[in-house]
Structures are given as structure tokens and as C-alpha cells.
A and B are shown apart, each in its own frame.
Chain A
Amino acid sequence: MTSKLDLIIKPAFSRAYIRIVMGNRVWAEVLTDSMLPVLSLAAYVYTYYFLGASSQYVGFVILGGAMLAFWSNVLWSVGSQLYWEKEDGNLETFFISPASKMSLLTGMAFGGVVNTALRVIVTIAVGVIVFGVHFDPSQIPEALSVFGLTVIDLYALGMVFSSLYLLYGREAWHISNLLTEPVSFISGLYYPIQFFPFWLQALASLIPMTLGLDILRRMFFNGSTILSESLEVGVLAIMAPVLILLAKFALDYMERFSKREGRLTLRWQ
């Protein structure tokens, strides 16, 4: 007998599992996905070396690179996931099934986190082993909590994007393109955003990645703690449920809109 809980847990688990299997079946892809981004990161590191900047900047770059891996996954994979499900003919099968759509979306996001974690581990390992970045070990437990919170926020944002892409994205990758560079610029992936005017800092803080990175950097390189960063950590903590609720709202709206307009399963729209 299938219970309501089965229709929440099993679709989420299976979709996450499928995503993890798909992401790791082709080893050549796994290697290029995890190794190649390190090269672009190295370019920033050597720029800072050349300029004689403080070693903190190298740490900034490594943390930024780690977070960028999640952000790229959110934009290019989770955000456009429902769009690609539609193009592959899967969306129709999701919508005629009794499975919770939110749990499917959560499964996709969770699978994305697991797959991207490998790239993040490689980035941090290269940072520590090759570039000699030092992370204060006593800060690691607190930093991991902030890191986890930021990743949850990012993927919840990705879940919101997912429905919006489907509704308004004629070709999803254009939206990803549109968001990639400006967000990389204002979120301070490779430098502290304190260089920016206040209004731009405030705008950038709406992106969880900016806030998360800012806290992490202060924790690792300035000796801050969760307590001393309680305001920003609090904002990150509030963002998670707000974004998840927003994702649910967007998903429900997208389903209603598509049923009304008849665009749910039309391709290349």
C-alpha cells in the first residue's frame, strides 16, 4: 500500500540517485568537471601572486572557486532542470504521476549538491596542497555550518529558478548566460565586496553566495565566529525557508499556468 509519505520520499530519493548516477557514469566528464575549473582559479591566484597581494586573497579565490562550483551547478543544472525535463519528455510523466513535484525538485537539487561536492573537494585540496592556503582548523566546524546553510540557500534559489525558467525561458541557457557573469562580478567570488558602494553591496547580499562567502572569509581569515556574524548568519538562515516556500509557490504557479495556457508540454517554447 502506497502512503503519502512514499510519494514524497521515494521520488526525491530516486531523482537524487538518478542524478548522482548520471553525473558519475562517464569518468571523462567527472574528471574534466572537477579538474578543469581549477585552471581558471589558478589564473586568479597567480594574478594575486604577481601583484604581491596578501595570502588572504589566495584564500578568497579558493573559497570563491568552491562556491562558484555550486553556483554554476545551480544555474546550469538545477535552475534549468525542469526545462530539460520538458524537452526530454519527462515533465509530462512527472505531472501525471501522484509524486510530489517539490520532492522531485528537491531530489534534483540534492543530487546536484552531491555531484558538485567532488569539484569542491578538488578545489579546496588544490588550494591547500598546491597554493598553501591555510584554514584555521578550529574554525572548520562553524565554517561548515555556514557553508552548508549557504549551499541550502543556493539550491533553494535554484529550485525557484527552475519553475521560472520553464515559465519564461524560451531557451533556458540564455537566462543562465545572463546571470553567470553579473553574479560572478557582484558576489565577490574572487575579492571582498567591500570595494563596492553600499547600494551594490546591499544588492549583492540578496544572493546567498555573497553573504555566505563574506562570512566564511571573515571566519577563516579574520577570526570571526558565528556569534560575531550573527546578523548575516541569521539572514542566511531565514533565506532558506523563504526560498523553499517561494520555490513551492513558483512550482504550483507554473503548474497552474501551464495547465491553463496549455504550454506544459510544448517544446522549444
Chain B
Amino acid sequence: MRESVRTEDLTRTFRGEEGEIKALDGVSLSVMPGEIFGLLGPNGAGKTTLTKILCTLLLPTSGKAFVNGYDVVQETAKIKEVINLASGGETPGYGILTVRENLWFFSQLYGLSNEESKKRVSQLIDAVGLQEKAKERMNRLSSGMKQRLNIARSMINDPRILFLDEPTLGLDVVFAQEIRQYIEKLVKVDPEKTVLLTTHYMAEADEMCDRVAIIDKGKIIVVEAPARLKSLFSKDVNLLVEVSFIGSRADELLKLKGVKGLSVTHSPEKNTTTLKLVLEEESTISDVISAIKEMGVTMHMMNKAETTLETVFISLVGRGLE
């Protein structure tokens, strides 16, 4: 069976003010038809660079990449016929035009006949719940509605391989869930389809993805099914601690023996810091408590947590997605 996506030792460097930056460093992966494949990594990990190379928007510095069996450097025209991309936070289209007009325009970029276009546009407007806004100008839509339109646009050519970069960014919880279900259904109904999903939401990746690749500093750390990953890391001890504001001193916890990773989230409103720690074994908990006390901060809460994709990520990368 032909892979939907295959990369071989893919590298991409950018020239920065402080010399060359390696955004991708020897990435090799393979995604099969029928898969929803997640790319997880912190900001600057190389996820978007990889997506852009696969969408033919960027050339690799070295290595090879194939989409639907076609080379991303030599056979871009063939790739463009079978892909599409939606990036969260982007609102392609023209503000003064209506939802329907915008979708019609994007359908013409794929040469759809008037009949096909009409049918497809109506179908997508229904799918993303924009029926009541179909005749509304795009610049009068809320950001969530614009994101729905963006998702509809990305499906206008019924792409065989769909790249979604943070697709649920800015969407309300209910609609984000509807979109996830719609995407899952797409692949279920047509097993030839593939979705490559980049997301910050671990729960989203956990729920939707057949496999995920965790990527950090341009390198793939692991490629595995979420359930399998959670089972592999089930022996980790996951600790959720809420303390008074701790600032950058939290990083000192990483120096403790037995601490595999730490995710820090500050809450300025509550003046607190939430620490998610992944420990090798239970005995390290007392060391963590002592270290926090020595920092002179007040501990509000401490709980043990189950292994999730997020704790696996912290364990592998050493930090969270923040």
C-alpha cells in the first residue's frame, strides 16, 4: 500500500540573526492511508516547518519527502491535487464577500464545475454549521465562525490528505468536539483519506489520533499510538502540585534526581503556579516536597495523576507544551 506521507532523513535549516537554525533535523516518518496522525511538540519544535514542506510551501534543505507517493520537490503539481491545509488562527478569504461566495471562490482554485461547486459548498456549510451565516459577509463573522469557514475551505476539494494545523484553535468547546467528530468520520467513511494533525491540545490528539509523533528541537522522539504510549509510561509517577507563584525557580525541581520532566503553568489572576511533574518512582515525592518548602512557597494542593498523553510528553521531552 502506498504511504500517504513518507519522509527520509528530512532536514530544514533557516538563516537566523545568530547563524543557522535547524528547524528539522533528520526526520523520518511514515503515515498510512486511513490514519489520523498527530504531530505533537512545543513551539519551535518543527511541526509547522514539516507541515509546510509536505504542503509544498517550503523546500527541504536535505532529505526526501513524499506525499501520496509524489516527491515534494519534483512533483508538486500532483501533490496539490490531493492535499489541503487549514491553519488555526488563519482566516483566508475576503471580508466583504459572503461565506458562500468565499467557498465558491476557493472551489474554483480546484477547477470544480458550477454544479459540483454548488453541491460541495452547500454540503460544507451544513457540515460546519454555518447555514444561518451562509449569506453573511466574512468580516461580520466571529473568530470562531471564521475558523469554521477555514475548516470548510480546507475540505473544498475533498482532499485525500488533509493537513490540520491547530484546527480547533479559537473554537468553542462544543463546536471543537463536533469538528473532531466530523474529521474522524471523514477518515472512517473513506479509509483512503489521511489527516495529519498538529495540535497543542493533548486531549484532542489522544482522542483523535491513531498514532502520534512527538517532535522536539527538530527531531522525532517517538512515533506510537497514544494508548501504547500511555501503557509504556504507565509506571511513571505523575504529580500535580499547586503552589503560590514560584516564577522561574520551578526549574530547580528538574535538577532533582528522579524527576523526568516538569510542566509549569502560572496563573497571574490567582497568583499561583501549577506544576505537573513526572517522576521515576514514588520515593522522589518527598524530595519534591522538601525542595518546594525550601523555595519558601506555599503548597496549596498535591495530587497524583493518571498517565495521559500529556504526562508521556513531559516525560519524553522534559517539559510541557507551554
Contact = CB atoms under 8 A, between A and B. Distances in A.
Interface in B106-137: 106, 108-113
A13 interface: yes
Interface string A212-224: 0000000000000
B22 interface: no
Interface residues of B, number: 34
A92 B57 contact: yes
A2 B97 contact: no
Contacts of A2: 110-112
Given A14-B104, A96-B56, A96-B83, A26 B96 contact: yes
B182 interface: no
A128 B116 CA distance: 48
B319 to A, nearest CB: 26
Contacts of B77: 98
Contacts of A265: 52, 57
A260 to B, nearest CB: 5
Interface in A123-158: none
A10 B108 contact: yes
A7 B85 contact: no
Interface in A247-268: 259-260, 262, 264-265
A96 B57 contact: yes
Contacts of A200: none
B56 A14 contact: no
A25 B139 CA distance: 14
Interface string B220-259: 0000000000000000000000000000000000000000
Nearest to B154: A93
Interface in A1-28: 2-3, 6-7, 10-11, 13-15, 18, 21-22, 25-26
Given A89-B91, A259-B57, A97 B96 contact: no
Contacts of A25: 96
B172 to A, nearest CB: 22
A4 B110 CA distance: 10
A11 B110 CA distance: 8
A95 interface: yes
A9 to B, nearest CB: 8
A18 B92 contact: no
Nearest to B106: A93
Interface of A: 2-3, 6-7, 10-11, 13-15, 18, 21-22, 25-26, 88-90, 92-99, 104, 259-260, 262, 264-265
